[in-house]
Structure 1
Amino acid sequence: MADEELHTIDIHLDRLLAERGMTLTELSAQVGITVVNLSILKNGRAKAIRFSTLSKICDALHCQPGDLITHHSADSA
């Protein structure tokens, strides 16, 4: 199960985009990251995120990393 390791990180990109009335395509244009890569992140399939990417997303959405990413314990999953 190494390739499909479960993680306890949740991404709230959908909510943030909806709250700001922004589409994934608009975010992609603002941050210079492909829609495909943002979609992978949005759907929880990303295995990592660069700090530079996180910074760009936070700048574009006017949010903090904790607004975008949360952690929950494996016990509550």
Structure 2
Amino acid sequence: MTIEPQAKAQDLAVLQATVRRVDEENGQLRGRQARFESLLRAFSWTVDRWAGQMHRAGIEPDPVHPLVDEYNRTGV
């Protein structure tokens, strides 16, 4: 069975529209992820400053959550 050129063209148009939509969504997600990573780095830096201030004031902060410790060790 042979697919007619018009059916192929319609299938191609659907595929191209889908690829454009997925590319746009991926771009938006990448932007959000980059913003979130920047926020996480800024928050981590801020908390580290606060912990340093506590240490200098003789106040021992509670231990960090294991996920925070892992992030501090690996950056991931």
Q: Same fold (TM over 0.5)?
A: no
Q: Which has the larger radius of gyration?
A: 2
Give the strand-richer structure, 1 or 2.
1
- TM score, norm. by length of structure 2: 0.30
Structure number with higher helix proportion: 2
- Taking CA–CA contacts closer than 8 Å with sequence separation of 6 or more, which of the two structures ends up with the larger relative contact order? 1
